[in-house]
């Protein structure tokens, strides 16, 4: 089954830092735009960020601008989401997925363009 694997979540205090990883073993991530999404309890899944295949440029939602950074390590076939200055409202299950239609990100992300979803990783920001 083709999918990604997310890791790196956990419990962190407000203002803390986490780095999430999105890895794949059955396909090459650099061939796709990769999106990060999150879903909080009782809420719809929303886009967090996206990193393009073509030039590594990224887009993100306004609420994480200046706090979250998306990057790639092509040698490790991994995409990262560096999350700084975390807030309680960042609490959610975080997912990554590959855009099968575009190599360049658009915003907001069109979720039905994404596939190979992983199982997600829980991020909890609480004191």
- For 38-91, write each residue's pLDDT tens digit: 999 999 999 999 999 988 899 999 999 999 999 999 999 999 999 999 999 999
At residue 54, the pLDDT reads 81
pLDDT band per the 50, 70, 90 thresholds, residue 113? very high
For residue 105, give the nearest of 73, 59, 69, 37 by alpha carbon. 59
Residue 116, token pair as written in the block: 């190979």
Q: What is the pLDDT of residue 52?
A: 96
User: How much is the average pLDDT of 31-35?
Assistant: 95
What pLDDT is recorded for position 10? 98
């Amino acid at each position: 089954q083709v999918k990604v694997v997310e890791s790196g979540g956990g419990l962190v205090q407000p203002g803390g830092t986490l780095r999430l990883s999105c890895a794949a073993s059955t396909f090459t991530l650099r061939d796709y735009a990769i999106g990060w999404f999150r879903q909080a309890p009782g809420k719809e899944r929303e886009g967090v960020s996206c990193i393009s295949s073509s030039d590594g440029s990224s887009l993100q939602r306004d609420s994480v601008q200046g706090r979250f950074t998306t990057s790639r390590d092509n040698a490790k076939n991994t995409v990262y989401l560096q999350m700084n200055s975390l807030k309680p409202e960042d609490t959610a299950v975080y997912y990554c997925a590959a855009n099968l239609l575009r190599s360049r990100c658009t915003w907001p992300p069109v979720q039905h363009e994404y596939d190979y979803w992983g199982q997600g990783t829980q991020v909890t920001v609480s004191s």
